[in-house]
Structure 1
């Protein structure tokens, strides 16, 4: 192996856990999770989601980390190493491609969050038309393009610095800040007069609010929030030493990711109900409803600034894992120098993200099954690419490499947790069936609706 290909390893268990948790903690936790809970009735959906995280998310995250650690390769290299002379490497290639696509539009949405940090610092006032404010931002060209470039520049800079000096150093700083900001926002939200109604919505389940769509959304959210099916956990696992127990590490990552998602609900729903707004505002909950909440809240400018700073930090920790998947593939398989790979790929991803950014302005006439360009990118990524990658990874780990080999790799070092026969049943049967159902329902709903 030449100098260009020399692989780094995480220098501490904490560094790996924070990096993997940072990959999982992102816009999916703080932007997507609350509006999915809000549109599915609250507490009953939360319980279904927690079950899905344990039964679906935990086995897949163990499988991906184990594939990465055993092979010490990127997603493509991992499948080539564990199933030589077969076409299974295409599953890894799908993961690399998926990470590439998701980051292209993820950066656009993260750019909106960065723009709202500035907007919040200038102050949200009750006389603002927040729907018009958001529409005005995304239908312009210059400002969204600038923030998209800034966000990608930050992501490229971190990845260029390497696994230890870039990713690990960054998450050790950002993840504690993220938790502190989130706890401050939770305390402020639950202390508002009238917050009790929001707490009841979030904590007192009414199972009559559940539908089949709720179960589908819970499984999809569990899968999306853990960065599964895109090769991120395979890549991060490849930098993990054999002294670490993967069953333990996966449990910590799962716990931290779930904690952030649950806390984000405590930060949002009590405030929304306290000010008489609706929790089922959908994707607009973050950029339209919440600014209205901050406008009415005492010290709202300060807390609005903290919220969008929190959202941006979460976006950065996920974005670096998406870019790392692609860069690790190029460094390993094509022997590029890391900095060159990060910069070239970053520029290409930025350019691929321009069409969805313009989908609200210059390219607003584009339509795919009633969706604009950004939603089209997101539909293909989350309805086709991610679940297909996850399903095939589960099949590979359960049946091709084998559930026993996967479990042995996960349990290689001593730890508090270990996986056994139940893991085999889940990864071989339950996970593929559940993910397959997500795909079928998602595709059917799009074309039937």
Structure 2
């Protein structure tokens, strides 16, 4: 079914939608933590190099596959090569697994946004507030339901009226909020009871200045793997999203230019996420506070930072969580669209039926994720050493196992079976030459699959030397 194909009205709509997908929770709560943990500027330099090489390769490949086949991730691979249907199935399983826990976290963000809007930020900063909230049975489910309904409404409206139109409104707002919080974060200062004063600019230095003291080959390799893993979160590759969005791009669009814009947009926002968070956490919590990640950063550490700002904390907290809400919303929309488009293409469903089915499935699994912090609470240790419950297991399987497998398979298919010329010809369809053509060929055939294989071994706990 080709319903709503080629329906992005222009390249701006596509770029904003794709960038909106890329700018999500992974950028906001994972990027700053990794940058702080991995030597500040050292991580930034490696990340930017990888974004221009490794990330460029994966992003270009998936978008080109989508536009060439005019299919969703579930069906695109088999259209390229009939025997490669299983890779499409795995590529579709990834967003199906991610969506339920993503909307659960989206519900958490909505809860905190409401807390700060109503002026109750001080309560959110108290010890045990976050664990008390997710430990409840009803409220996290209610917040998840509200967030999911908002996402589903956008998907129901379609690619043009829903995804593209909402992206054109939300993304400019998101950028304004990101810039505003970033600038404010650099202006703050705090003096401890012992008289030590820390400033936002000092925190910025801790973020951007490379710390090479005592760096070893093993530590450098660890930073490399961390930066490469972050690219999955940052660019939304290996989730089927870029294939789905690529299938909606017209044949006369300048694909190379759009890909460059998406890369630039995402890298800038990822960097600004660190500018927003690291200086503020450094000022009020010191270097030790900079190593918090995931939910503990977003819902525990930052509320304490906002509370330390006095009256302004509620305002800044509300602006911050509004920004996070928009980022989570655009990413959740893209994840759901990858699933809905797959259902439409594989089972010949119309958009309304496909969206309704995925909404029901997503909510049912998301309820289990919510209950994983109370009624269904358990604790197991994953191969990467993380003590996990339902959400962590789903995140580990989708992000650490299936996504590298999808990308490795994609590189093998394009690099060795169909040959890189397949993607290069698609990018150059309009007559505009593809930049970094030689780099792309080397990356997709050799460098990317090798790095991805090492990342997979590391995620599985098999490779322990890095």
TM range (shorter): over 0.9
Aligned equivalent of 1:291:
303
Q: Which of these residues, 102, 118, 122, is aligned with residue 118 of structure 2? A: 122
2:280 corresponds to 1:280: no
CA shift, 1:218, in A, is: 0.8
Q: Deviations over 1:369-412 (max 9, x none)?
A: 43111111111011111111111112112112210121111122
Q: Cα offset for 1:323?
A: 0.8
- Structure 1, gaps ≥5 residues long: none
**1:254 pairs with one of 263, 267, 274:** 263
The verdict on how the C-alpha distance between 1:195 and 1:32 changes in structure 2, with shifts beyond 3 A counting, is same
The answer (yes or no) to whether the contact 1:38–1:281 under 8 Å persists in 2 is no
Residue equivalent to 1:337 = 350
* Match for residue 213 of structure 2 among 192, 208, 213: 208
Which residue in the other structure is 1:199 paired with?
A: 204
Alpha carbons of structure 1 residues 125 and 162: separation in structure 2 relative to 1, 3 Å = closer
- Structure 1 CA distance, aligned partners of 2:276 and 2:124? 22
Cα distance in 1 between the residues matched to 2:318 and 2:434: 39
SS at match of 1:130: coil
Shift of 1:123: 3.3
Distance 1:10 1:172, change over 3 A: same
Aligned residue in 2 for 1:372 = 389
Distance 1:394 1:386, change over 3 A: same
Structure 1 residues 7-406: aligned runs within 5 Å: 7-84=5-82, 86=83, 88-123=84-119, 130-193=126-189, 194-208=199-213, 211=219, 212-277=221-286, 278-283=289-294, 284-298=296-310, 299-369=312-382, 370-406=387-423
Question: For residues 433 and 441 of structure 2, what CA distance do their matches in structure 1 show?
Answer: 19
In the aligned structure 2, how far is the partner of 1:282 from the partner of 1:41?
15
1-side partners of 2:445 and 2:251: how far apart?
A: 25
Moved more, 31-40 or 110-119: 31-40
Whether the aligned pair in 2 keeps the contact of 1:39 and 1:281 (CA below 8 Å) is no
| Number of residue-to-residue matches in the alignment | 445
Tell me how far apart the structure 1 counterparts of residues 14 and 425 of structure 2 sit (CA, whole Å). Answer: 20
Task: Give the CA deviation at 1:366.
Answer: 4.9
TM-score (norm 1): 0.94
SS in structure 1 of the partner of residue 236 of structure 2: coil
Q: Residues of 2 paired with 1:102 and 1:186: CA distance?
A: 29
Contact 1:411 1:418 in 2 (8 A): no
Residue 447 (structure 1) shift: 9.8
Task: Write out per-residue CA displacement over residues 97-150 of structure 1, whole angstroms, 9 at most, x where no aligned residue.
Answer: 100100111111111111000122233566865341111111111111011111
| Aligned CA distance change for structure 1 residues 366 and 351 (closer, same or farther; 3 Å) | farther
Q: 1:357 to 1:368 in 2, by over 3 A?
A: farther
- Aligned-pair distance for 1:297? 1.6
Cα distance in structure 1, aligned partners of 2:120 and 2:139 = 19
Unaligned runs of 5+ in 2: 190-198
